[in-house]
Structure 1
Amino acid sequence: MSSTLETLAAKLAEDTVNIMDETGEDRLFVEIGTVLGAASQTLEEAFLTEVRVRLAEQKARQFLNKRIVQLRAKKKAETPQAQ
């Protein structure tokens, strides 16, 4: 059952995060969690964990991408220009 639980939670989380990105409804996962909780607290918890992991990765990726741009700009500014 653990494999089924993880598979279902991961797929639902992936779909939910994609829809959240598409629509801008950043709290949709809370509503989905409420629906799940009424039927299965176990699936609700697994789903919410999967969503949190994905949202955290998105935030970290945004930070990393921004930081890379800053570091590259700094490096370019410090590099002497060939004439």
Structure 2
Amino acid sequence: MGITEDLADALARDVIAAAEKLGDDEVISEVSEALGASSTTTQEAFLTMVRVRLAEQRARRLLDERLRQGSRK
């Protein structure tokens, strides 16, 4: 990845972790808005990384659940 994507991905990881720790997903939007005020390119990369990481988390939870269900049969 390029520097923009690398930085956006690192920030996305940190913000997702902060949102989970705080129990407040609004922090993702707040950080996004702050990025957008100075760099829409970085904001777009950040939001893409957030969506990708959250989708991956949901998919892993689904897979884990299916594996637990399968092992009970």
SS at structure 2 position matched to 1:35: helix
Higher RCO by CA contacts (8 Å cutoff, separation 6 or greater): 2
> Which residues of 2 match residues 2-81 of structure 1 at below 5 A?
3-74=2-73
**C-alpha RMSD over aligned residues:** 1.2
Give the TM-score normalised by the residue count of structure 1: 0.82
Kindly, what percent of the aligned residue pairs are identical? 45
SS at structure 2 position matched to 1:21: helix
Structure 1: gaps spanning 5 or more residues: 75-83
Structure number with larger C-alpha Rg: 1
After TM superposition, the runs of 4+ consecutive aligned structure 1 residues lying more than 6 A away are: none
Count of aligned pairs between the two proteins: 73
Give the TM-score normalised by the residue count of structure 2: 0.92
